[in-house]
Amino acid sequence: MLHLLEKEFIGIGEVKGFKFKQIDSTTLGYIYLVDTGDSIHYEVFKRVNSPLCIDFKKRLYSETESKESYPKSNSFGITAWCCNKLIKAVNRLEAFKEKEANCDK
């Protein structure tokens, strides 16, 4: 079973108070609108699945369940990007498909 990302949420940590709203998704990635309170931008990133942790103290992970995770700040520029215009985010998400298609050749 795969646990998907929330469609809307309020950020914590480095992005505390930011409002995130999913505006597009494909099998390869997501676009979220991010409202910082002062500005709006878009974050586009590749889907990343990881095993679901079932016991944090013992560091035990499920063999049958996984979850998607929102990228950490060190993922930006690698598997995630910030865009000031929606069209740029859409183009970046579309580029994921093109890059995958080229790898299949």
pLDDT of residue 101: 52
Query: Mind listing the pLDDT tens digit of every residue in the chain (105 residues)?
Result: 767 899 999 999 999 999 999 999 999 999 999 999 999 999 999 998 887 788 889 888 888 888 888 999 999 999 999 999 999 999 999 998 876 555 554
Which pTM does this prediction carry?
A: 0.82
Strand pairing class (2-3; 60-68): parallel
Q: Say if residues 72 and 82 touch (Cβ distance below 8 Å).
A: no
Residues 11 and 63: their CA atoms lie apart, in Å, by 29
pLDDT for res 102: 54
Distance CA 19, CA 1 (A): 27
**Rounded Cα distance, 24 and 44, in Å:** 9
Residue 29 burial (CB count, 10 A): 22
